[in-house]
A = this chain, B = another copy of it.
Amino acid sequence: MPPKYQQLADRLRKAIEDGRWAPGDQIPTEIELRDSSGFSVNTVREAIRQLVNQELLEKRQGEGTFVRRRPDTFPVLLSDEEGRRAADLPGDAYVSSVLLRGRRPEVGRPHVDVVEARADVALRLDVKVGAKVVTRVQQRFVDGTPWSLQTSYYPMDIADGTDLIRPGDIERGTIRLLEDLGHPQVGYTDELTARMSYPDESAFFAVTGAGVSVQVLWRTAFDAERPIRLTVTVYPADRNRLVYHIGSVPAKYRDRS
């Protein structure tokens, strides 16, 4: 038998999952929950604390406790680079995909730097640890809301002397630029993991409290021979859903959201 606060937390969570309490709803007060559940106020408090930690509830100062409103999650299609290129859409994949869904994309001015490759970057770019690499950091927004944080890494022998090492946007997109530089992208490997947001990320994503769960996507792009770019993107889970279509998915099921 789980502890009492756990039993209550599970019961409240179920009310949210079943939709009996909808996003944005104010939930009953601690006293009301004590009376309706038969548990003590301390038990009620502990159960609510757990659901706040799980990002299901949020406390608003002086107002009460509410079912956390999930922003309209944006489906990020990660499997269609090939298709998109075939369709010959211009420039940045992110901008195109947001526009295609009738939303307003916005990207911050890229911050360009030269840094020494950490072990995890060096492994993926197949360069020595400590080798110089070019980084481009960019903030991305949907409809004015911060949506993702992206850092791209380029091997110095590819980036040096090109637009990649210069500040400013690359109008034609980096995939096309790399192609022009003799490094056509033929495929990529995506590696995904999850963690809580770091404070600088929480600040950018305007998250308060303990942070928000993020998915971190490590995308290594290859030409026929070698890695040509590593892109690390941090997606807050409360406003993104990462999507892959593999094989042949019937057309009517490809664009659900």
A195 at the interface (CB under 8 A from B): yes
A residues contacting B by CB (< 8 A) are 2, 6, 9-10, 13, 17-19, 50, 53-55, 73, 75, 78-79, 81-82, 118-119, 123-124, 126, 185-196, 198-200, 210-211, 213-215, 220, 222, 224-227, 237, 240-250, 253-254, 256
In the complex, A189→B213 CA distance in Å? 22
- The A interface is mostly helix, strand or loop, or mixed, namely mixed
Contact across chains for B210 and A53 when beta carbons are under 8 A apart: yes
Residues of B within 8 A of A240 (CB): 193
Contact across chains for A241 and B188 when beta carbons are under 8 A apart: no
Contact across chains for B118 and A187 when beta carbons are under 8 A apart: no
Contact across chains for B189 and A2 when beta carbons are under 8 A apart: no
Contact across chains for A215 and B186 when beta carbons are under 8 A apart: no
Contact across chains for A253 and B227 when beta carbons are under 8 A apart: yes
A-B contact pairs, 12 of them (CB 8 A): A2-B199, A54-B196, A54-B211, A78-B246, A188-B249, A189-B243, A189-B246, A189-B249, A191-B241, A193-B242, A224-B248, A226-B250
Contact across chains for B253 and A220 when beta carbons are under 8 A apart: yes
